[in-house]
């Protein structure tokens, strides 16, 4: 028996894919785009575009290590929406990560 079609209000979530990608990279700074895509349920190309957005906005830095990328998150960058701009992205990450996994504000270190 097929499931009834979802109502319009059944499809939304609180976090955007940008937030999900950032959280995934905070948890695993050496994660491959393919793995992040599988975790979140989006395409690898979507992850690449989101990473480019996050990098352009200063939320993360991509460093090439051999054939892989390593991502460093700057937890001091403010959230983008005007009503949230007084909060750094580190506050959001702290909500979803264990305290010891959250990037340190004073060192700009990676989340690992």
Residue 76 maps to which CATH number?
1.10.10.10
DSSP 21-58: HHHHHHH-TT--HHHHHHHHTS-HHHHHHHHHHHHHTT
Please give the residue range of the domain that contains residue 65. Answer: 16-101
Total domains present in the chain: 1
Model confidence at 98, pLDDT cuts 50, 70, 90, reads confident
Give the pLDDT confidence of 6-65 residue by residue, as tens digits. Answer: 677 778 889 999 999 999 999 999 999 999 999 999 999 999 999 999 999 999 999 999
Residue 9 lies in a domain: no
Distance CA 28, CA 47 (A): 14
Residue 11 lies in a domain: no
Residue 4 lies in a domain: no
Angle CA(20)–CA(69)–CA(81) in degrees, nearest 5? 35
Residue 7 lies in a domain: no
Query: 89: how many CB neighbours lie within 10 A of its CB?
Result: 25
Distance CA 25, CA 108 (A): 15
């Amino acid at each position: 028996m097929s499931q009834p079609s979802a109502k319009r209000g059944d499809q939304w979530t609180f976090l955007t894919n940008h937030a999900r990608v950032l959280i995934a990279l905070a948890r695993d700074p050496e994660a491959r785009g393919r793995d992040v895509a599988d975790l979140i349920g989006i395409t690898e190309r979507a992850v690449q575009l989101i990473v480019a957005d996050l990098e352009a906005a200063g939320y993360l830095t991509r460093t090439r290590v051999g054939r892989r990328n390593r991502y460093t998150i700057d937890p001091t960058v403010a959230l983008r929406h005007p009503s949230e701009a007084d909060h750094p992205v580190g506050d959001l990450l702290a909500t979803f990560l264990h305290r010891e996994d959250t990037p340190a504000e004073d060192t700009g270190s990676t989340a690992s």
